[in-house]
Amino acid sequence: MTREVFKHDFLWGGAVAAHQLEGAWQEGGKGVSVADVMTVGAHGVPRRITDGVLADEYYPNHEGIDFYHHYKEDIKLFAEMGFKCFRTSIAWTRIFPKGDECEPNEAGLKFYDELFDECLKYNIEPVVTLSHFEMPFHLVTEYGGWKNRKVIDFFVNFSEVCFKRYQTKVKYWMTFNEINNQANYVDDFAPFTNSGIVYKEGDNREEIMYQAAHYELVAAAKAVAIGRKINPNFEIGCMIAMCPIYPATCSPDDMLMSVSAMHTRYWFTDVHVKGSYPKHLKKYFERNQFNLDITLEDEEVLKGGCVDYIGFSYYMSFAVSYQNQAHYKYDESKDLVANPYVEASDWGWQIDPKGLRYAMNWFTDRYDLPLFIVENGFGALDKLENDTVQDDYRIAYLKAHIEQMKLAVSEDGVDLMGYTPWGCIDLISAGTGEMKKRYGFIYVDRDNEGNGSLKRLPKKSFDWYREVIKSNGEVL
Ligand code: P53
């Protein structure tokens, strides 16, 4: 037998987030989260953020796929595929319904005890994100979200409670999901989902984004330091949305535009990994005369809370072109161009498996830390026929990405911990709130309007992925 590419303890699994599947939005004392006030959109139609929960609106996350009541059945199916790990998040609002309480909500803590026990029963290692687009809405209305320094303490308290409670059940943690999405502060989506920020007329959106991100990074570093004390065996990572940004052509100006765009999207990783701000960003703050609250004490905190690994999502690559932008300033809401060398999904996401190998090299060259691909996948329209889905397109997407992942390990020497494809069971799309943008190995009978039996049905990819795991990635 040839030597396997992936390590023996490679973490094969799947990934979800609490707000996208649990539902039960008011059960067990749960509070209202930012995800609970977002409506359904579509490709090109943004989700609306309402002023609280309104009676005549439909909020898809309120019911999700009712994982809260179906998790035993669902984890059993994950075990059938041979999952070694399962990535989910802890809904902050189950533990601290409003976010600013001193004492946690026991019913919420108990739910995750049972959920993790159910995973461990099948030797499935839970991988936990602390903040995945679901902060308490109360922290938005009362504190202005992450633009307020006070939120650091609330998050750190929440993290400490989770670390203590689950220290014997959970080893792998991540702080903030896709913290760098907010590099696009022009559209309303990322500022709200990342940071609970609703901009007002006249706000300096960009400056506010940098302030909020700074507080999050300080909070993340504090959490890392506390977690390490609670259990030195914890592995605590960051979580970056990796969409590498290529120059549209080999023109030097396009190249510099790409460098600047990469700076704008990925400096977050520098702070998480190195514990300090990159030089280009310090210059940028100076040039723009931003007045940011970054104290000497914060700088010490950042240095003391560097991550153990880089968790990242990878779905697509971007391309950027130079259009006389001053200082090559990158605006993600308008500077991206189509890449003629790759195809795109029905939602316009450019499919680029080689971009994954490139991204893995990019991270390794810069940071030389273990990598964990905690999201990857193909959001597609599935057709249910005879109680299953022939999702060959999904298999083709995942296979092509795993092949590149293998090359990054076997030829480039990248240290890869694991792979958890996104939405291993169909769930609510974060970007659009749709149910019909499906990623799962398991079909869930529910539609965009919330109709359906919620029945779980394995797709063709279910059997395929089971063989992938069984062969440790040798049979694709
Ligand atoms: P959906 C944008 C770009 C890359 C990943 O996304 C993104 C987003 C935000 O939509 O989100 C991540 O559901 C995120 C998950 C999300 C998944 O990718 O819009 O971590 O919560 O569901 C897929 O198709």
User: Residue whose CA is closest, atom 19 of ligand 1?
Assistant: 431
User: Residue whose CA is closest, atom 14 of ligand 1?
Assistant: 430
- pLDDT at 1 exceeding the cut of 70: no
Q: How far is the CA of 296 from the centre of ligand 1 (A)?
A: 34
Measured from the Cβ of residue 95, the count of other Cβ atoms closer than 10 Å reads 28
CB 435 within 8 A of CB 41: no
Closest CA relative to residue 154, chosen from 86, 206, 222: 222
Contacts of 227-232 with CB under 8 Å at 24 or more apart are: 227/159, 227/163, 227/173, 230/160, 230/163, 230/164, 230/167, 231/163, 231/167, 231/171
Q: Given the DSSP bridges, would you call strands 371-375 and 442-444 parallel, antiparallel or unpaired?
A: unpaired
Model confidence pLDDT, tens digit, residues 287-340: 999 999 999 999 999 999 999 999 999 999 999 999 999 999 999 999 999 999
What is the arithmetic mean of pLDDT over 114-127? 98
What is the arithmetic mean of pLDDT over 419-434? 98
Among candidate residues 216, 375, 385, 449, the one labeled active-site is: 375
Measured from the Cβ of residue 248, the count of other Cβ atoms closer than 10 Å reads 21
Concatenating the DSSP letter of every residue in 242-267 gives ---EEESSS-HHHHHHHHHHHHHHHH
Closest CA relative to residue 308, chosen from 238, 230, 363, 203: 238
Model confidence pLDDT, tens digit, residues 214-263: 999 999 999 999 999 999 999 999 999 999 999 999 999 999 999 999 99
Q: How far apart are CA 85 and CA 192, in angstroms?
A: 29
Catalytic annotation present for 297: no
* Nearest atom, ligand 1, residue 422 CA: 17
Q: Is the dihedral of CA 23, 25, 28, 34 positive or negative?
A: positive
What is the ipTM score, two decimals?
0.98
pLDDT at 241: 99
Tokens representing 31 are: 């509070």
What is the arithmetic mean of pLDDT over 70-93? 99
Tokens representing 251 are: 């023109």
Mutate to test the pocket of ligand 1, among 134, 178, 429, 448 (most ligand atoms within 8 A of CB): 178
pLDDT at 3: 82
Model confidence pLDDT, tens digit, residues 21-70: 999 999 999 999 999 999 999 999 999 999 999 999 999 999 999 999 99
CB 398 within 8 A of CB 377: yes
User: Residue whose CA is closest, atom 8 of ligand 1?
Assistant: 431
Q: How far is the CA of 181 from the centre of ligand 1 (A)?
A: 10
Cα 418-244-377 angle, rounded to 5 deg: 45
* Nearest atom, ligand 1, residue 432 CA: 19
CB 454 within 8 A of CB 380: no
Q: How far apart are CA 341 and CA 156, in angstroms?
A: 44
pLDDT, averaged across the chain:
98
Q: pLDDT tier at 2 (50, 70, 90 boundaries)? A: low
Residue 363: burial class (beta carbons within 10 Å; 0-12, 13-18, 19+):
buried
Is 0.80 surpassed by the pTM of this model? yes
For 158, what's the count of Cα atoms within 13 Å in the CB-facing half-sphere? 28
Q: How far is the CA of 377 from the centre of ligand 1 (A)?
A: 10
Q: How far is the CA of 38 from the centre of ligand 1 (A)?
A: 15
Q: How far apart are CA 61 and CA 257, in angstroms?
A: 38
Ligand 1 contacts (CB < 6 A) are 17, 20, 133, 177-178, 241, 313, 315, 375, 379, 422, 429-432, 437
Give residue 35's region: left, alpha or beta (phi > 0; psi -120 to 50).
alpha
Q: How far is the CA of 177 from the centre of ligand 1 (A)?
A: 10
User: Residue whose CA is closest, atom 13 of ligand 1?
Assistant: 429
